[in-house]
Amino acid sequence: MLSLSALASTGVEIALFPVLISLSLVQTLAQYAARGFQPRFPKWTLRFEVARALKRFVTERYGDALATEPSAGRFRRLTEIVGSAAGWLSCRRHQTAVTPETAHGLEHLWIKSVDSDTRPPAADRFVVLYYHGGGYAVYSPRYFIDFCNTLRAAIVRELKATTPALAAPIEVDFFVANYRKTPVHKFPAPAQDAVLMYEYLVAHHNVPPRNIIVAGDSAGGGLVLSTLLGLRDAGKQELQPLAAMVCCAYADFMEEPEEFVPPPHCGLSQRLMRAFRVAALADPSDPAEARRHSPVFADLRGLPPVLVQAASLDYIYQNSLDLLAKAAADGVRNWEADLHDGVPHVFTTTAPSVLPYAAVGLQRLAAFAAKHILSSRAVAK
């Protein structure tokens, strides 16, 4: 009932939900059969196609509810429960442990190897500070335990493959930072929290900025950029991290132009994205406010290296293209583009067992992180 109450507000809606979701499933399977039992796109699988269809059904029918209270809070609670269960299994598989930490009134998560307490003194420690997505309104950090475990393992593998005989081991920890959610806390609250938690990691845990990589998906990608810009604009360039990675960043709050055609093959829908925008801004009708909180319109000079990962079927694909274009126009030379054709929003966060191509996106992120970790280590030595 928790999952239904997070979406449906009336008894009729609750009764209709299983019927409508079943019809969506049947339609997807019928289309799959009509194509000769081939997925819609070469990089997709049937399991992924079904998951995407169900997500699109939910966001098209219940997009408004997902971005408003109390439904947004109920959905976050649901993802916390699901994420905790999946995360427990993931930690057993990856030999890691999750340690909650409360700071500034919110729960954040450390993900470390199970033997982190016995790591040698000579070990170099790097931390990936991760901001999760969800339109700034939904999802819990716990929902991303499995993905962060998978990305952490990919980075460790890349480090070992690149430098098989290290003089001293390199440890990679993840810190999944929470932030206040919209619609209760409008912008700039989420962006302020992102900067606050970065500074907390440096000051409270004594992690040198050169040992931190900041990463995030979707709205979390937007918070990564807000953090870099916030540090620079506050005159704290010495605190800038080693590097940053954004996956399908949600970084533009401007209204869509009239000629915009909603991408049909992404789990995100126009109804949901419009609701996220209204939830995030104190005055959604004010273009100046939308621009002020949109990193795509910022001066992008003076920031650390950033990997911009994007997917051509993403509803907000243009956000990534605009970011890269703005960086080029600003004369930025230390950003990298990682563009993927035929996959939708945050495809990399999908389990490779459901979408094998997700492993390609993971490897690109891991290679970028490992490259900068090794570069920082060489400079420090």
Name the residue range of residue 137's domain.
96-254+267-380
Contact 214, 195 (CB under 8 A): no
pTM to 2 decimal places: 0.94
Whether residue 138 is contained in a domain is answered as: yes
Residue 72 lies in a domain: no
Residue 327 domain-assigned?
A: yes
Kindly report the CATH number assigned to the domain that includes residue 352: 3.40.50.1820
Q: Is residue 36 part of a domain?
A: no
- Does 186 fall in a domain? yes
Q: What is the pLDDT of residues 75-124, one digit of tens each?
A: 999 999 999 999 999 999 999 999 999 999 999 999 999 987 777 665 68
Cis geometry, peptide bond prior to residue 183 (ω within 30 degrees of 0):
yes
274-317 pLDDT, tens digit per residue, is 999 999 999 999 999 999 999 999 999 999 999 999 999 999 99
Question: Per the domain annotation, does 237 fall within a domain?
Answer: yes
Q: What is the CA radius of gyration of the chain?
A: 20
- 115 within domain boundaries: yes
Structural domains in the chain (count): 1
What is the rounded distance in angstroms from the CA atom of residue 205 to the CA atom of residue 125?
12
Among candidate residues 375, 346, 354, the one with its CA nearest the CA of residue 139: 346
Q: Does 73 map to a domain?
A: no
